[in-house]
Amino acid sequence: MPFKLPDTAKPFTLCVSEEEYSQLRELLRLSRIGPKTWENQHQDGRYGIPHQWLTSTKDYWLNKFDWRRQEARINSLPNYKISIQDDGGKGDIDLHFIGMFSQRDDAIPIVLLHGWPGSFLEFIPVLELLHKKYDSSSLPYHVIVPSLPGYMLSSGPSQAEEWNSKDAARLINKAVTSLGFIRYAVQGGDVGSLIAATLAATYDSVAAIHLNLLPSLDRVTVDDPSLSATDKSAIKRAEERFLTPTTGAALLQSTRPATIGAMVSSSPMALLSWIGEKFLEWPDDPIDIDEILTNVSLYWFTDTMPRCTYTYRGTFINDHQYSFPFFKQPFGFSWFLRELVPTPKELAKQKGNLVFYQQHEKGGHFAALERPVEFLQDIEDFLFVTWPKNN
């Protein structure tokens, strides 16, 4: 029987009011950028956001960026909201998601989970590829791309309760099963990989898991004899360029989430500085400025930053967050070599029932956004070899 979306999932259209849009532009106009310093003159970002990039991006954001065009692009895809009652007693969530649903009886449900400082927007290029490749009668998948609780267009955690990634996973699982999917595959990167791993470790409804970042504190070093020359080069580059500064930012959000949330939600330029530097440093090739500003703008319009820091709170200081049982489900991994955390095949094999592994010479932390063609191909190849007919 073809899939029918339940009545509890309501179509949603994004529409930022003219008042909110004008307020953002006025705040941008009034925002000052601090003086040039020795540190912010380094264009490689070794000490943080370059002054020149911040200045030119502010000008583009204020005078050339077309928010309404980006809003229309988001609305060109089928957006929904669904109200989920939390079985854990921590408050209900109004969950946003993009859903592309098939009319095929054998379509595979798959949930794509974003991370920070990204959002559901990371997957739009992948969804657009799917839209071009298939129509609803031929689409082999039911694709669900939620905004994680507290992110973007989903409501946030209760102010009265401590909230963590396990709570987010519980709500995501209930949302997906409420749509009618008893079994589904899950994919995640960054924070999304942590939530995907939690789902796989906790719920029998997860039939397969694919990641492009490994939620583990285990690391490999260049002297490991099992590594190829390509592996060693990627690990050395990550150690020198990414791991120390990236860990510094994560530690700050881990230990002072309230402070970071207050700072960057007080000014759009502060938000651009904090998020923008990650979009500069973490990808392989540069990401289009419109993609960056769409993400930052929607973070601003939705007050995401103060609401989403629970996904980093305690990271790296509570190692148990990264302790997962061996994935018993079919497990797939894609290593884009400019990813912050190197994951050679031997390391991935230690974490689960690895049935699919692909290494890509190009691509970094925002794999779906940077390399949507390769990302989608990996997902399709993974599902082809792992999805049992009896699911």
Q: Which positions are annotated as active-site residues?
A: 190, 312, 365
Give CA–CA dist 215/165, Å, rounded: 12
3-state secondary structure of 282: coil
What DSSP designation does 225 have?
Answer: T
Tokens representing 310? 């629970």
* Greatest alpha-carbon span in the chain: 65
The H or E element containing residue 369 is helix 367-370
Residue 7, classified by CB atoms within 10 Å of its CB into exposed (0-12), middle (13-18) or buried (19+), is exposed
Q: What are the DSSP calls for 49-71, one per residue?
A: S-HHHHHHHHHHHHHT--HHHHH
DSSP assignment of 11-50, as one string? Answer: E------HHHHHHHHHHHHH-------TGGG-TT-TTSS-
No. of helices (H) and no. of strands (E), the chain = 15, 9
Whole-angstrom Cα distance, residue 349 to residue 372? 25
Q: How far is CA 56 from CA 31, 62, 276, 301, in A?
A: 13, 10, 13, 22
230 and 337 Cβ atoms separated by less than 8 Å: yes
Strands (E), the chain: 9-11, 79-84, 93-100, 108-113, 141-146, 184-188, 206-211, 327-336, 352-360
Q: Give the CB-side neighbour count of residue 156, counting CA atoms within 13 A.
A: 19
- The one-letter code for the residue type at 302 is T
Instruction: List CB contacts of 320: < 8 A, sequence separation 6 or more.
Output: none
Cα separation, 156 vs 86, in Å, equals 13
Size (the chain), residues: 391
